[in-house]
Amino acid sequence: MDAEVRLYDNLFTKEDPNEVEEGQDITANVKADYLKIISNCKVEPSLRDAAAGARYQFERMGYFCVDPDSAPGNPVFNRTIGLRDTWAKIEQREKK
C-alpha cells in the first residue's frame, strides 16, 4: 500500500551551528534539504492503520515512527534513525 515517508537529515551544515561568520546568526547553518518528503512509498498492508507514535524498522532503510498526521489508510512515517551516520563520514573526511 502507499504511504508518505519523511526523511529527516541533520538540520545544520556544521556540527556546532553557532559557528557563524560575523553578522550572521544560527540560521546561516541550516541545511536547505534537511527534509525530503517521498509520496507513494510502498509499505506492508499491515501498516495501513498503524497508531501514531508506533515504531518500525524498514529493512535496509532505518527506523521510523508513525507521524500524528497519519490517517487510517493514509500512513505517514518519519525516519528517526538512518542506518548510515553522516556525521561519521564528515569526521573521517576532516581527519584526512
C-alpha cell recorded at residue 60: 535496509
Q: Tens of pLDDT along 18-70?
A: 989 899 999 999 999 999 999 999 999 999 889 999 999 988 788 999 999 99
Neighbours of 13 (CB within 10 A): 14
Strands 55-58 and 76-82: unpaired
85: pLDDT strictly greater than 90: no
| Residue 54 cell numbers, joined | 508506533
87 has pLDDT over 70: no
Cα–Cα distance measured from residue 5 to residue 70, given in angstroms and rounded to the nearest whole number: 11
Q: Which residue has the cell 553578522?
A: 23
Average pLDDT over residues 5-24: 90
Number of domains in the chain: 1
Question: What residue numbers bound the domain in which 79 lies?
Answer: 2-95
CATH of the domain at 83: 2.40.240.10
Asked if 64 contacts 55 with a C-beta cutoff of 8 angstroms, the reply is: yes
Strands of 1-96 (E only): list them. 2-8, 35-42, 55-58, 62-66, 76-82
User: How do residues 57-69 score in pLDDT, each as one tens digit?
Assistant: 988 788 999 999 9
pLDDT in tens, 67-84: 999 998 899 999 998 876
